[in-house]
Structure 1
């Protein structure tokens, strides 16, 4: 494992140079292109006309079937009925004609009939009385030749013989009947029926029979065809009907011909349209895939170059991200190949959430989300059913949804230590999501197929958790990563070193637990790793187990051995616990962060008690000789643990701690360390130190709160009466 760690260390050293960073992304891009090359490679098929197909062929793209579209347009055009328009002006013309005939007849009646004149006038006009033949002649003169041709002589005779009142009654009735009948649509075939209808309407007139016959004849003459074929409107309707026809398309993924199905002319034509019979190769799918991969990796290169500020972590994160990506893509391709071989939807068992879990635990949430989006995008191509050009968006959604769900689950408190529990919960959610996809697509499946899909989805969740737990130790060891799971393992009270502290130095153990509580709260208050602070506090004084009796917390009812020692000897013993602690932790292969806490929690602070004691004996004593060797705190967690260590010991030695005294003491210790330069190599800010002070005071006030003073017995040893 050390060789692997050294190998990755050398790679990280190379990644410092921009050239090797670009080279890594090029390698990742080529690897991805190689995996997905077969998924976009145009498929060539061997088919012959009027022979069964040797395979099921699906369209790789959506194309319009122009032949069937034109056929559909012709069929729709034929179904459009001819449009006939109603000539409304015909009604008015015929009504006006009938009205004019009757008006002319009334005028002739007035001019030639003196019956209603005064007696004097009658004598004067006797010479003007006309015969019926003359009246008919006068009436015809008032009308046109065309009208005269269409009217029978008997009609003219009846008109001139009728009096004015009869003519008016006949006029009104005839006009009304003609208007009613002609207002409706009358085709050429309906003219005779319309004439019968108008005669029926005139049958109720109360006039003499001759006048009634004349009215019927005039009305029948007025009834003509009033609807005619409208060529322009017919063409317009057909044009609209043709435009409404949706183009008939061969859809991407649609089965053109099934295995052993006869390839007739229609199927052969569709295969030609879809490009399967085209012998010329195209490079567009390859260019599209190359462009897609370039865009995605260019975005991630920009992210890693400009968004990650900590250079110590940048190359570590880049290398871990790359390895997880390669592993996930290889797994994805393997699952897709197996699914194609077995001709089943085995792809739902792909443990896509594994990558999200690993990146979430090893790195951070942002990179985990980026990873799962990248895998989901590539999954739409890899899980395309080996149909070039096809994209399985449902599988892409499944991968992204499962990965995001895993990230959310692991974001809950204490779930980082329960990856398997998270996997089980993810399995149930995966199963529900797969069922939702199947129901939305309205697929017709058997009960066994539903069970199969559900089992595959559950296997994906559990498999992701198992693979995550199995791969975590390799990443942690290979990259020296201190994950939350590793920290929780080290926090186990049954750990051999914690048992050693508890048994050999119980006072130190109690002190370490108190420091852990204080440091964890303070680190979480400033946004640092509270779990690292807690676990580091447990082991920060492990070096004291070599000489536990020389430290005051372990001196219970015994003489302090330092009273009999020279200051130089006491100094060496006290200072040695930081160095010894680091060596012990290294020998047990503890993470570097825990070792640093043990060595750095005192920084280069001064052993004031023994320095002043030595100063009294020899005024030439150098202050530097009584300082810890350091180094000073490099991390915020170490700085906070150092403050909590001093504060806990100081407050515990106070006789009657009050909130005011505790706050004054904490402020003094923090200011003393600032002035001593103990935080000069750490990026902790003054604002964060103020937050740390507030958090420590709150925690200490809760621990050292005032207690009720119970009354003492009257006499020592006196028995309490029942």
Structure 2
């Protein structure tokens, strides 16, 4: 049992990666569509590149979406609306009219008899309500046929047969008999106008149900291809009906061919494919980004983002595939570049696209556009902490989407008349969604404890609490750190390293000297040296301890690990040479380990640059009457000595880059120590 726990403890990082691998594979397979993949790739307007294709089974030809949309629109336009006839309103209106007539008609005022006038009024009333009265204006032509529902009976009428409330006055004038005098006509017009209330309304539910019923009855098929029938010949252009037949075969293949009986084979295929993708990611990290591979948090962060993009795309495709380009997939390489490097960002982006090829329609077009957009993201987004750069890059990414889609449409359709302009709106939405990268980076920093260039910019502010404390307690060290930061930043810019990271690392690399500032020469304000009364070994221990104390202070102040790496490695495993030689004069059997920094040695370009800049800047203070030749020889000696000690073996830095760094340091030091003309007294 003890051996088991010891083995588990020793390999827990590897076990975690295995668990992450299995979990990610299961999640992605769960998200992928459970249907077979059509084994032929084809594009509209392109020649068929395979041998003659014959129908492997009988299947129906599906109508394309445009044809179905036209049929749906025709049904909606020609649909017969239903109107409700309310008889209760008619009865209330009639009662109201009779009451008004009774109150208003005085026999002595009119020559027409009351009974005759009443009969005339009821005749007009019944004629108006024969088909009903409407109040609202509906978007129908006058000769449009409609259904009028009276209780359980339905009759068909023309829309023009309805009376409008505002037309009642004119209608009464036409219908009232010539036998009636003008004053009676006027009276009946007023009374009927007051009494008649609209009693016909559109039955929206019944109308919509009728339309829905007709829409559901649309036949999605337009023919049958019999088994063995030739579908397309080699070299024939894929277009028109042939294109639709191929799409129908593809849909049939994916929906029917993959049944429950071979569902397990489908899962096995997915397991192999997804495992290969994630294996490639692990291999890349292990071979080219070993420091990331060893950090389980960073590995988890990368896998989390891949799965997140697959999840978002799957959800959008299930809701409506036409919105697939709204998913801001370029956030993935953008964020990975912000936290790691461009090469890793592009590699992970490409692997993610391989998985999404199983999810999205028109996978070739999608993969091409997203790959180009990802490359543009990597090439254009620089210095993400500058807000303007992100806006400019988002504009470029959106433009690439639009140009790429436009080119694909021309290739497939041969003209621009049928282009779907709303897709350009989706690309613009995608670009706007990409701007969410900034708050997402901040969120990831808090969740995963990572650091981006935006955070580095904040840390580079010399007014931060820690740097102000350093300038107060160890002003000489603070000034030294500023000089090193300037040298290191200039060198990093020359070899395309992360200049912001190097600058921040340089500003904080000596914060451990705050504990015993007077034991370091740059902070000694007089000729008294605190090391004069100490044994060389004890002095060396104090000097070496500034690295350990610096790490403790950094952790207490929540500095990111990427910055703490500079504190760990800025002396590598070099010797505290001055005290080592003093001890050697007194004791020939001196132990080098007592005078050696604990390391580790630099493991990146940035940490290597800091080691060179720190050593050169610190030692330059000992130069007496510096000249250009002295400075050149001095820089060569220090950096060559570090190379001879093997300090840069783990840093991915080339001899050419080291030579470039030497030139930058020489130039900068020559500028610092340039000779001035002596002014006359």
- TM-score (ref. length: structure 2): 0.58
Does 2:292 match 1:313?
Answer: yes
SS at match of 2:393: helix
8 A Cα contact 1:65 1:247, kept in partner:
no
User: Aligned-residue CA RMSD in angstroms?
Assistant: 5.2
Aligned match for 1:349, one of 318, 326, 330: 326
Q: Which residue of 1 aligns with 2:562?
A: 593
1:225-277 deviation line (CA, Å, top 9, x unaligned): xxxxxxxxxxxxxxxxxxx9999946448999xxxxxxxxxxxxx99x96999
Q: Which residue of 2 aligns with 1:465?
A: 435
Aligned match for 1:545, one of 502, 514, 523: 514
Over 3 Å counting, the alpha-carbon distance change for 1:631 and 1:63 in structure 2 is: farther
Q: Which residue of 1 aligns with 2:216?
A: 54
Per-residue deviation, 1:537: 1.0
Aligned match for 1:663, one of 628, 632, 636: 632
Deviates more, 1:408-417 or 1:596-605: 408-417
Q: Which residue of 1 aligns with 2:679?
A: 711
What is the CA–CA distance in structure 2 between the aligned matches of 1:492 and 1:605, rounded to whole Å?
30
Per-residue deviation, 1:539: 0.8
Q: Which residue of 1 aligns with 2:319?
A: 338
- Equivalence map 1:133-144=2 (5 Å): none
Per-residue deviation, 1:33: 3.3
Per-residue deviation, 1:330: 0.8
What is the CA–CA distance in structure 1 between the aligned matches of 2:564 and 2:257, rounded to whole Å?
68
Over 3 Å counting, the alpha-carbon distance change for 1:296 and 1:561 in structure 2 is: same
Q: Which residue of 1 aligns with 2:470?
A: 501
Q: Which residue of 2 aligns with 1:402?
A: 373
Q: Which residue of 2 aligns with 1:326?
A: 307
Q: Which residue of 2 aligns with 1:103?
A: none
8 A Cα contact 1:379 1:395, kept in partner:
no
Over 3 Å counting, the alpha-carbon distance change for 1:283 and 1:431 in structure 2 is: farther
- Equivalence map 1:262-661=2 (5 Å): 291=269, 294-295=272-273, 297-298=275-276, 301-302=279-280, 304-305=282-283, 308-309=286-287, 311-314=290-293, 316=296, 319-339=300-320, 345-379=322-356, 381-384=358-361, 391=362, 393-410=364-381, 418-419=389-390, 421-434=392-405, 441=413, 450=421, 452-466=422-436, 468-473=437-442, 475-476=444-445, 481-522=450-491, 529-555=498-524, 558-562=525-529, 566-568=533-535, 574-603=543-572, 605-607=574-576, 609=578, 627=595, 629-636=597-604, 637-661=606-630
Per-residue deviation, 1:461: 1.7
Over 3 Å counting, the alpha-carbon distance change for 1:361 and 1:318 in structure 2 is: same
Over 3 Å counting, the alpha-carbon distance change for 1:652 and 1:416 in structure 2 is: farther
User: Number of matched residues?
Assistant: 493
Over 3 Å counting, the alpha-carbon distance change for 1:578 and 1:37 in structure 2 is: closer
SS at match of 1:352: coil
Over 3 Å counting, the alpha-carbon distance change for 1:281 and 1:639 in structure 2 is: closer
1:103-158 deviation line (CA, Å, top 9, x unaligned): xxxxxxxxxxxxxxxxxxxxxxxxxxxxxxxxxxxxxxxxxxxxxxxxxxxxxxxx
Per-residue deviation, 1:710: 4.1
Over 3 Å counting, the alpha-carbon distance change for 1:281 and 1:512 in structure 2 is: closer
Deviates more, 1:627-636 or 1:655-664: 627-636
Per-residue deviation, 1:587: 0.6
Q: Which residue of 2 aligns with 1:80?
A: none
Over 3 Å counting, the alpha-carbon distance change for 1:604 and 1:16 in structure 2 is: closer
SS at match of 2:679: coil
Q: Which residue of 2 aligns with 1:33?
A: 29
Per-residue deviation, 1:31: 3.0
What is the CA–CA distance in structure 2 between the aligned matches of 1:245 and 1:347, rounded to whole Å?
28
- TM-score (ref. length: structure 1): 0.55
1:294-340 deviation line (CA, Å, top 9, x unaligned): 34642552463378425443365654432211100111122223336
What is the CA–CA distance in structure 2 between the aligned matches of 1:276 and 1:540, rounded to whole Å?
60
Per-residue deviation, 1:566: 1.6
What is the CA–CA distance in structure 2 between the aligned matches of 1:380 and 1:679, rounded to whole Å?
42
Unmatched 5+ residue regions in structure 2? 1-7, 39-58, 62-212
Over 3 Å counting, the alpha-carbon distance change for 1:604 and 1:54 in structure 2 is: closer
Per-residue deviation, 1:580: 2.5
SS at match of 1:16: helix
- Equivalence map 1:219-238=2 (5 Å): none
Over 3 Å counting, the alpha-carbon distance change for 1:326 and 1:614 in structure 2 is: closer
Unmatched 5+ residue regions in structure 1? 1-9, 46-50, 71-243, 257-269, 385-390, 714-722
Per-residue deviation, 1:688: 6.3
What is the CA–CA distance in structure 2 between the aligned matches of 1:491 and 1:550, rounded to whole Å?
26
Aligned match for 2:14, one of 13, 16, 19: 16
Over 3 Å counting, the alpha-carbon distance change for 1:65 and 1:375 in structure 2 is: farther
Over 3 Å counting, the alpha-carbon distance change for 1:699 and 1:33 in structure 2 is: same
What is the CA–CA distance in structure 2 between the aligned matches of 1:245 and 1:477, rounded to whole Å?
54
What is the CA–CA distance in structure 2 between the aligned matches of 1:280 and 1:368, rounded to whole Å?
35
1:177-196 deviation line (CA, Å, top 9, x unaligned): xxxxxxxxxxxxxxxxxxxx
8 A Cα contact 1:59 1:274, kept in partner:
no
What is the CA–CA distance in structure 1 between the aligned matches of 2:407 and 2:263, rounded to whole Å?
32
